[in-house]
């Protein structure tokens, strides 16, 4: 399915612009008119992280006239393995500013608009309304559903990509012409069932593989060339080096863009929709949560604690709380590790940030370990408040 | 009984000892998933929820057929077919 160009051409290209974009101009399918369309285009990139980095850089180099960046985070050293729009000297700087500086260096003709904020239900429509097309480079289900819903409600095309370890997926969701994200994935996974990249890792260069598909699709939509990925899902497996294109149907029963929608406005709470912590876990942590500092005090006072790290072995190798024992969450949830839990010691669970340990705590409590507790904020809180010399990841 | 190949996404490979491709058999998707759960405990539960329905963050294709638009868990899995499990992942930063 080919679609008409999304953007009208700008009036003209300057002599400098003709020189800069000459390799585009001599492609018959792009030409002067296509380049003028890019010049007139307004593209918003949600996130200036793994996918946002290559996306913003190539969109800038390609001559997209206005690039918006939504990003509230600051550059951390652990970002630099893949977030190539930022550099060593940017550590500690707001990502939106760092990204904007890189874009200006790549192409001074781009008008960069910084939205140094977290996207939420109160600002998303106002921000999206200023753009022709949205590129999604976020990192969690709650924001992805928020982006999708706002894009559908405003009738905006939405170039989507997601990554995990060696796998990537990309598509174009545009309810007017095909399926939306909810047609493909009507509901997010239950909390803890699908790990995030912060938990499971991601091959840095995978961001480029998927980000470049997103930019390619954005350019095709803006200029009206080729066959866009509307109604198709690209599935990339870097280990097997295969790309597979799968047909995605528009779901007539889609809650948002189907024939009888039940979702007619943004949801009140996307975190809740994604159940970021299960009800059991949320219940389990009440009155059974300690801080990293309290754990340290217990250890210093000689309290008989059994500190269980519920992360994965690779994470345990990177950094650990002294005296902790590795028992991955899965082994606790399956019941396999319950026999290793002492009955006569204070059990203290922790993970990286406190989500997985909350799930493990719920399982332990229901298995009868009523006095078990977990550490709020996990090993990251330990590093922050007890031993800043340890590496955060 | 149909011998099939199941393609497992990275986010579920900790349940298959790291394998991205595992053999299974069964005449329908339901039977294949039952076999998967028997051979790789936890994998079936990733695909089917407590009520026995296909989970909504997972898409399963029998070759090129999206089972949600066919007979869901009763979709036939012919001998030699490939089952593709496509799971939602949210990573991007």
- Note whether B46 contacts A193, CB cutoff 8 Å: yes
Q: pLDDT tens-digit profile of A162-189? A: 999 999 999 999 999 999 999 999 999 8
Of A197, A207, A254, A274, the active-site residue reads A197
At A199 the pLDDT is 74
Q: pLDDT tens-digit profile of A187-213? A: 998 777 787 777 778 999 999 999 999
Q: How far is CA A54 from CA A46, A227, A268, in A?
A: 13, 22, 32
At A198 the pLDDT is 75
CB of A43 closer than 8 Å to CB of A133: yes
**Confidence class for position A362, pLDDT limits 50, 70, 90:** very high
Please give the share of chain A, as a percent, with pLDDT higher than 70.
Answer: 100
Q: Is B46 at the interface with chain A, CB within 8 A? A: yes
Identity of the highest mean pLDDT range in A187-196, A267-276, A283-292, A300-309: A300-309
At A252 the pLDDT is 96
A197 catalytic? Reply is yes
Residue A276 has pLDDT above 80, yes or no: no
CB contacts, 8 Å: B57 with chain A: 185, 187-189, 193-194
Q: Residue ranges per domain, chain B?
A: 3-87
Q: pLDDT tens-digit profile of A56-108? A: 999 999 999 999 999 999 999 999 999 999 999 999 999 999 999 999 999 99
Query: Is residue A162 classed exposed, middle or buried when 0-12, 13-18 and 19+ CB atoms within 10 A define those classes?
Result: buried
Q: pLDDT tens-digit profile of A127-158? A: 999 999 999 999 999 999 999 999 999 999 99
Q: CA of A189 to nearest chain B CA: how many angstroms apart?
A: 5
- Note whether B93 contacts A49, CB cutoff 8 Å: yes
- Note whether A167 contacts B66, CB cutoff 8 Å: no
Q: Which CATH class is domain B3-87?
A: alpha beta
Which chain A residue has the Cα nearest residue B43? A193
Both structure tokens of A64:
């997209």
Residue A7 CA to residue A221 CA, distance in Å, equals 9
At A134 the pLDDT is 98
For helices A52-62 and A95-106, what crossing angle results, to 10°?
Answer: 30
**Confidence class for position A297, pLDDT limits 50, 70, 90:** very high
Helix %, strand %, coil % for chain B, to 5?
Answer: 30, 30, 40
Residues of chain B under the 50 pLDDT cut: none
Residue A191 CA to residue B83 CA, distance in Å, equals 25
Q: How far is CA A297 from CA A301, A305, A392, in A?
A: 6, 11, 21
At A275 the pLDDT is 66
Q: Which of A168-172, A317-321, A389-393 has the lowest mean pLDDT?
A: A389-393
At B50 the pLDDT is 77
**Confidence class for position A279, pLDDT limits 50, 70, 90:** confident
**Confidence class for position A111, pLDDT limits 50, 70, 90:** very high
At A195 the pLDDT is 77
**Least CB–CB distance from A185: residue in B84, B88, B91:** B88
> Global pTM?
0.83
Which chain B residue has the Cα nearest residue A143? B90
**Least CB–CB distance from B91: residue in A202, A233, A330:** A202
């Amino acid at each position: 399915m080919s679609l008409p160009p999304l953007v009208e051409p700008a009036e003209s290209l300057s002599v400098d612009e003709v020189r800069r974009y000459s390799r585009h101009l001599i492609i018959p399918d792009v030409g002067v008119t296509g380049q003028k369309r890019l010049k007139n285009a307004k593209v918003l990139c949600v996130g200036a992280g793994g996918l946002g980095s290559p996306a913003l850089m190539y969109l800038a180099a390609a001559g997209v006239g206005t690039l918006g960046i939504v990003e509230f985070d600051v550059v951390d050293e652990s970002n630099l393995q893949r977030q190539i729009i930022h550099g060593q000297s940017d550590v500690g700087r707001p990502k939106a500013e760092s990204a904007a500086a890189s874009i200006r260096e790549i192409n001074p003709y781009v008008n960069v608009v910084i939205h140094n904020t977290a996207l939420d239900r109160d600002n998303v429509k106002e921000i999206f309304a200023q753009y022709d097309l949205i590129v999604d480079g976020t990192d969690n289900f709650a924001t992805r559903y928020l982006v999708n819903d706002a894009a559908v409600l405003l009738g905006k095309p939405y170039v989507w990509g997601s990554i995990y370890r060696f796998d990537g997926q990309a598509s174009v969701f545009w309810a007017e012409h095909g399926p939306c994200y909810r047609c493909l994935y009507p509901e997010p996974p239950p909390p803890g069932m699908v790990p995030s990249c912060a938990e499971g890792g991601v091959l840095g260069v995978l961001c480029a593989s998927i980000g470049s598909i997103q930019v390619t699709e954005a350019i095709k939509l803006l200029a009206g060339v080729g066959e866009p990925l509307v109604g198709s899902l690209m599935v990339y497996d870097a280990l097997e080096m295969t790309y597979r294109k799968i047909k995605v149907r528009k779901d007539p029963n889609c809650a948002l863009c189907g024939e009888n929608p039940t979702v007619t406005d943004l949801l009140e709470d996307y975190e809740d929709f994604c159940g970021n912590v299960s009800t059991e876990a949320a219940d389990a942590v009440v009155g059974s949560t300690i801080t990293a500092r309290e754990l340290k005090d217990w250890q210093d006072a000689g309290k008989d604690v059994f500190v269980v790290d519920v992360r994965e072995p690779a994470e345990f190798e990177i950094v650990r709380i002294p005296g902790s024992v590795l028992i991955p969450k899965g082994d606790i949830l399956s019941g396999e590790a319950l026999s290793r839990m002492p009955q006569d010691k204070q059990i203290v669970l922790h993970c990286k940030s406190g989500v997985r340990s909350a799930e493990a705590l719920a399982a332990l409590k229901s298995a009868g370990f009523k006095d078990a507790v977990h550490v709020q904020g996990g090993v990251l809180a330990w590093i922050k408040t007890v031993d800043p010399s340890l590496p955060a990841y | 009984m149909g011998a099939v190949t199941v393609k497992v996404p990275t986010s579920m490979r900790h349940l298959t000892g790291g394998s991205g491709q595992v053999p299974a058999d069964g005449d329908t998707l339901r039977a294949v998933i039952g076999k998967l759960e028997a051979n790789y405990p936890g994998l079936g539960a990733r695909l089917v929820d407590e009520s026995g329905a296909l989970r909504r963050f997972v898409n399963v294709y029998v070759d090129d057929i999206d089972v949600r638009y066919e007979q869901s868990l009763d979709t036939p899995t012919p001998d030699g077919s490939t089952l593709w499990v496509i799971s939602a992942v949210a990573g991007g930063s």
